[in-house]
Amino acid sequence: MNSLKFLVCVAVWFSGVLLSESAKKEDGSVLYTGMLTDTISKIVSGYPGEIGVAVIINNMDTVTVNNKSIYPMMSVFKLHQAIAVCNDFDRKGLSLDSLMCIKRDELDPRTWSPMMKEHSEPVISLTVKDLLRYTLIQSDNNASNIMFKELVSVARTDSFIATLIPRTSFRIAYTEGEMSVDHDKAYSNYTSPLGAAMLMNRLFTDSLVSREKQCFMMNTLEECITGKDRIVAPLLGKEGITIAHKTGSGYINENGELAAHNDVAYIRLPNNVCYSLAVFVKDFKGNEAQASKAVACVSAIVYALLAQL
């Protein structure tokens, strides 16, 4: 079923049939939000898991499907963490070039950590900017744990982000380290798709922190190398498209399901259409490759329509 659904998505993506004459008002404008909602709803209903989607188009029109505040964020919360750290450093008048000394023996060797692989010295000296790059580009868990412990706590991060997006749309309660000990805690770090899309959208369209720090985050998210088989997949190789995104990946839960497989992005198209897209997959009865195809399928549908506006 998953492979078939993905092939259907690709067929729609190439054919451009979404913008039919029946989708236009008398004045010629396109009812694209309704079309997106209907098409995405039909596609995601065929997958063996719950898939939530949110799209914010040109900072105005919004589309949501299965938009409940129940999706485990996993590493998507590193976006929230980065914004909170930058805000805290602004408040204190500190530079992201501030140096941190990290004892290697205090790091978790079992978790995902490109930083540990690249630094074998007993005491690792990195700037805060380096740590943020590790979390946003490679989703490094040790770097995230260090910043929660030494810079801005989970509670303070959660409180600050609640000033930017609705309190009911998300919660950050645990670190990567705490979730690695008890996987069920991942379900307490949750979001709605719209909450994640709103935060990404505000980062690229509003003034949240100092311009220097905000530009740093935006540029760094464009360098993200994780999950290129998700939202990014149908956009690869297309000229004039800029993509910034942050992924989050879960574990296999006690029911044999993939707990989470997520991606949230801000995308600029050559036709000057900009949109935030969040796709969250929860309790998926399949593997990561199949879940990635589901996310890519949604991305292909959204792109197929918005590229024609």
| Paired residues of 249 in beta bridges | 261
- In percent, the amount of the chain with pLDDT more than 90 equals 88
Q: What pLDDT was estimated at residue 30?
A: 52
Q: What pLDDT was estimated at residue 26?
A: 46
Q: From residue 218, give the alpha-carbon distance in Å to each of 56, 121, 181, 194.
A: 17, 30, 32, 19
- Tell me the pLDDT band of 29, cut-offs 50, 70 and 90: very low
Its sign, for the CA torsion 34, 51, 298, 11, is negative
Cα 68 to Cα 33: distance, rounded to the nearest angstrom: 19
Predicted confidence (pLDDT) per residue in 231-265, tens digit: 999 999 999 999 999 999 999 999 999 999 999 99
Higher pLDDT, 4 or 65: 65
- In percent, the amount of the chain with pLDDT more than 70 equals 90
Q: Is the pLDDT of residue 101 over 90?
A: yes
Q: Is the pLDDT of residue 95 over 60?
A: yes
Q: What pLDDT was estimated at residue 105?
A: 94
The SS3 of residue 274 is strand
Catalytic residues: 75
| Paired residues of 99 in beta bridges | 127
CB-based contact 114:226 (threshold 8 Å): no
Cα 229 to Cα 246: distance, rounded to the nearest angstrom: 12
- Tell me the pLDDT band of 20, cut-offs 50, 70 and 90: very low
User: Given the structure tokens 């297309």, which residue do they identify?
Assistant: 238
Q: From residue 6, give the alpha-carbon distance in Å to each of 66, 127, 267, 296, 303.
A: 19, 42, 21, 8, 14
Full-prediction pTM beyond 0.75?
Answer: yes
Q: What pLDDT was estimated at residue 32?
A: 79
* Beta pairing class for 242-249 and 190-191: unpaired
Q: Is the pLDDT of residue 27 over 50?
A: no
Residue 125 is inside which H or E element, if any? strand 123-127
Q: Is the pLDDT of residue 274 over 90?
A: yes
What domains sit in the chain, N to C, each tagged with a CATH number? 2-306 (3.40.710.10)
Extract the runs of DSSP E, i.e. beta strands, from the chain.
Answer: 50-57, 61-65, 71-72, 99-103, 123-127, 170-171, 190-191, 242-249, 258-268, 274-284
CB-based contact 278:194 (threshold 8 Å): yes
